[in-house]
Amino acid sequence: MTVVLTLAVLALVAIAIWQMTKIFELSQLKADQSRAQIANDNDNKNNGYLLFAFMVFTYLITIFSFWKYSKFLLPDASSAHGEEYDYLMLVSFVIIFIVQFITQFLLHYFGYKYRGREGQKALFYADNDRLEFIWTIIPVIVLAGLILWGLYTWTNIMDVNDEDDPLIVELYAQQFNWTARYGGADNVLGGANVRMIDIDRANVLGLDESDSYAADDVIVKELHLPVGRKVNFKMRSQDVLHSAYMPHFRAQMNCVPGMTTEFSFTPITTTAEIRQNSEVVDKVKRTNKIRAEKNVKITEENRILEAHGEPTKELLDSWEYDYILLCNKICGKSHYNMQMKIIVETQEEYEAWMKTQQTFGQTMASVQ
Ligand SMILES: [Cu+2]
């Protein structure tokens, strides 16, 4: 790939130098000598056709990209607000696509229609109030509509409140991992501050041990959420700016050192259900096919390595689809791998899992 890019750069530089010398030569020629270098009607016509060809190329590559790469998009939203969010995005895309299609056509068509012709002078056309009114008012109405709808959707999504008894979960970001904390039986998070972090005593989130709300808090490395229950997330960061990104739930919020940020959503599809989604099934099949092909190669390599008495490589596991929390701010060298698995399950499964977890109080008692 680097070789191809280098060659492309070299070729472009060569063309640029060639064109520059041509311009220089032209500027040196006398008027009658340079006549042969000026574009004639035929040249202009050919350039007009090339314009059309370029337009067809842009249309085709757009259609091709939709057809070929749509499978890489996320599956249906797994949160209650996600459907509205996706619909807003879809409508915006459709409008942009239609406008792009029409304006590109007009641009290329008029480029061709008014190509240079021998003896023809361009028309000087100062202004036309009606035309200007039309091309101002239509974008104003469409954009105002989209923006108002967007603002309304945004306000709805960002309205973090305590109605409907939400589950309170803290997402704690640090270079380069996530930790989640539940409020415990009382569903209230105990006070915490980075200054109270005590690694020796396993108080990794800096919980206030004197706060009675902290004792029953549950700290975990895998986020479990009961389906259908609203979750209010409280985000904290220990070191730099991170961003809690949960793409399947159409959720993202910055984690800022020194303050608590919030986001709220209701998961509506369990992990078991999303694995049945036909797009997800296809994606898993494709990925595991690639892994199986790689494993064939690794096995062959291992045979040679074994024969030489060298350590062998590990085979790739088959992949299962999971929801995921990612960091979406470039926060350092291992940013790319800053993630946590999210499991959405039934209320019963969630409760059974929660029972197996230790509370903060229990962990503190065990280290004392
Ligand atoms: Cu990060």
User: Mean pLDDT for each consecutive 10-residue tract of the chain (368 residues)?
Assistant: 92 95 80 68 89 91 92 92 93 92 91 84 85 93 94 91 90 92 86 80 79 84 93 93 95 93 94 93 94 92 88 87 94 92 94 88 75
Cβ-proximal residues to 208 (8 Å cutoff; 6+ apart), any chain: 190, 191, 192, 193, 196, 214
Sheet holding 261-265, edge to edge: 218-220, 177-182, 167-174, 231-237, 261-265
**201 within domain boundaries:** yes
How many Å lie between the centroid of ligand 1 and the Cα of residue 188?
Answer: 26
Cα(190) to ligand 1 centroid in Å equals: 24
* Neighbouring-strand partners of residue 192: 207
The alpha carbon of 1 and the centre of ligand 1 are apart by a number of angstroms equal to 29
CA of 235 to the centre of ligand 1 (A): 12
Distance 35 CA to ligand 1 centre (A): 63
CATH number for the domain including 334? Answer: 2.60.40.420
Instruction: Classify residue 95 by burial, with Cβ atoms within 10 Å: 0-12, 13-18, 19+.
Output: middle
| Identity of residue 362 | Q
What's the CA-to-centroid distance between 240 and ligand 1, angstroms?
8
Assess if residue 197 is contained within a domain.
yes
Whether 47 is covered by a domain: the verdict is no
Q: Is residue 220 assigned to a domain?
A: yes
CA of 95 to the centre of ligand 1 (A): 35
Kindly compute the dihedral angle of the four CA atoms of residues 13, 19, 24, 28, in this order, to the nearest 10 degrees. Answer: 160
CA 133 / ligand 1 centre spacing (Å): 48
CA pair distance 321, 341, nearest whole angstrom = 10
What residues make up the domain containing 229? 167-272+321-367
Residue tagged 């992949």 (tokens): 319
Nearest to 222 by CA among 169, 269, 264: 169
- Tally of domains in the chain: 1
Q: How high is the pLDDT of residue 185?
A: 84
Distances (CA, A) of 246 to 53, 267, 364: 42, 11, 31
pTM of this prediction exceeds 0.85:
no
Q: Is residue 131 part of a domain?
A: no
What is the distance in A from the centroid of ligand 1 to the CA of 29? 62
Residue with tokens 């337009």: 55
**Distance from the alpha carbon of residue 336 to the mean position of ligand 1, in angstroms:** 8
Cα-to-centroid distance, 331 and ligand 1 (Å): 4
Distance (Å) from CA 322 to ligand 1 centroid:
20
243 part of a folded domain: yes
**What's the 327 CA to ligand 1 centre distance in angstroms?**
5
Which structure tokens are listed for 345? 């399950």
Q: What is the distance in A from the centroid of ligand 1 to the CA of 67?
A: 33
Whether 209 maps to a domain, the answer reads yes
Flag whether 129 is in a domain.
Answer: no
Which residues, including other chains, have CB under 8 Å from residue 269's CB and lie 6 or more apart?
A: 76, 78, 227, 344
Quote the ligand 1 centre to 244 CA distance (angstroms). 8
